[in-house]
Amino acid sequence: MSAPLLDMENLTVRFHGERTVHAVNGVSLTLQSGETLGILGESGSGKSVTLKTLLRLLPENRTEIGGTLRVDGQDVLALQGRALADHRGRTVSMVFQDPMLALDPVYRIGDQIAETVMRHEGCSRSEAMARALDMFKSVQMPSPERRLRAYPHEMSGGMRQRAMIALALACRPKLLLADEPTTALDATVQIQILLLLRDLQRQFGMGMIFVTHDIGVVVEVSDRVAVMYAGEIIETGTVHDIIRDARHPYTKGLLAANLHGAVKGARLNAISGAPPSLESRPTACSFAPRCPVARETCASQPPPNVAVGAQRQVRCILAQQ
């Protein structure tokens, strides 16, 4: 196997301020080119922080990043100034959650895309606009020539997200990050955008990391899944493994909390309790207080990271048997 596109080893992120927040606690991930990884987790589990670390978008002076992070052989944590700006958008690019907020309201979409292309490829304005038009065709934008000249507020939510994807892919990044790209859209548009992202990922042969809290979405697009809880990855495996044979109690709880197949009138399953505050570094299993099958040792020592097959790990004491 060739060197991975993304190699993240024991990544930790701390935010310093009035109180310290341990947002990401020892996350290790690898991703090959052409592979899609879904990161599944609830709000505040550190998914978005992990993504933003890949682009170094977190506020420099209040953030402490530990561990190693290499994308395409380059040490991302060591990048500075122009090299960092070159990395952003060219090597790694991001699709944001709400395209209404992530597109500048006072510029035409085409100009925003062209600006990025000109920045990274140093080409002329007309070449950049031609690229923007190509991208609009790739994302199946209806009447692309006209939409290039539209402002974000003149488009529907689905078209805005298509434009956002076109912007993110305009410089042919090697790694695409998608931060809940379908959350702000309605259900019928969601599936279109998901299928589009999957097709484009295959067409361009990029690596993609797809962050979501929706299991259905993960199943649709990912090859592998990593489940995050309280800033740690608690279970990784192929989509099939996770759905058919979840090992971690949290993953099982997530799957049980799914609305699909719920009987009308019956009480919905939910994981009781709330995620822990991240003010101190976890010294035991973070999920133990909510875990239905917790043991005494769970609350006293950190759980082992158990390998239960190739590319399949579970951070739970129960997986050892």
Partner 1 sequence: MSSLSASQNSAPFEVSPGYWSGVIGRLRRDPVAMFALLVILALVLMALFAPYIAPNDPYRGQLLRRLRPIGTAGFPLGTDELGRDMLSRLIYGARLSLLMGVTPVFIAFFFGAFIGITAGFVGGKVNSLLMRTVDVFFAFPSVLLAIALSGALGAGIFNGLLSLSIVFIPPIARIAESVTTGVRKLEYIEAARASGASSMTIVRVHVLGNVLGPIFVYATGLISVSLILASGLSFLGLGVKPPEPEWGLMLNTLRNAIYVQPWVAALPGLMIFCTSISFNLFSDGLRSAMDLKS
* Contact positions with partner 1 (CB under 8 A) in 65-94: 82, 85-90, 93-94
Interaction between residue 268 and partner 1 (CB under 8 A): no
Candidates 65, 123, 150, 189: give the one binding partner 1 (CB under 8 A): 150
Helix (H) or strand (E) holding 190: helix 187-204
Candidates 27, 129, 227, 230: give the one binding partner 1 (CB under 8 A): 129
Q: 170 vs 196, which CB is nearer to partner 1?
A: 170
Candidates 9, 64, 75, 145: give the one binding partner 1 (CB under 8 A): 145
CA distances from 18 to 15, 21, 62, 279 (A): 10, 9, 10, 11
Interaction between residue 14 and partner 1 (CB under 8 A): no
Q: Nearest 10 degrees: CA dihedral of 2, 194, 237, 259?
A: 180
Interaction between residue 202 and partner 1 (CB under 8 A): no
Angle at 180 between CA 226 and CA 99, to 5 degrees: 160
CB 314 within 8 A of CB 247: yes
The one segment of 167-175, 215-223, 235-243, 278-286 that binds partner 1 by CB under 8 A? 167-175
CB 104 within 8 A of CB 150: no
Candidates 17, 73, 105, 292: give the one binding partner 1 (CB under 8 A): 105
The one-letter amino acid code at 135 reads M
CB 17 within 8 A of CB 62: yes
Candidates 16, 149, 240, 244: give the one binding partner 1 (CB under 8 A): 149
Strand order of the β-sheet with 207-212 is 92-95, 175-179, 207-212, 36-40, 224-229, 232-238, 313-315, 305-307
**Minimum separation from the CB atom of position 167 to partner 1 (A):** 7
One symbol per residue from 42 to 61: x for binding partner 1 (CB under 8 A), - otherwise; what is it? -------------x-x----
**Minimum separation from the CB atom of position 35 to partner 1 (A):** 21
Candidates 123, 151, 198, 305: give the one binding partner 1 (CB under 8 A): 151
The one segment of 26-34, 150-158, 194-202, 243-251 that binds partner 1 by CB under 8 A? 150-158
CA distances from 180 to 41, 65, 95, 283, 314 (A): 11, 23, 8, 30, 24
Interaction between residue 262 and partner 1 (CB under 8 A): no
* Contact positions with partner 1 (CB under 8 A) in 168-187: 168, 171
CB 229 within 8 A of CB 45: yes
CA distances from 14 to 152, 224, 319 (A): 35, 27, 29
Interaction between residue 115 and partner 1 (CB under 8 A): yes
Cα Rg of the chain (Å, integer): 20
Q: 153 vs 244, which CB is nearer to partner 1?
A: 153
Structure tokens that stand for 284 in this block: 């035991």
Q: 74 vs 305, which CB is nearer to partner 1?
A: 74
Q: Which residues contact partner 1 by CB under 8 A?
A: 55, 57, 82, 85-90, 93-94, 96, 98, 101-108, 115-116, 119-120, 126, 129-130, 143, 145-146, 148-151, 153-154, 164, 167-168, 171
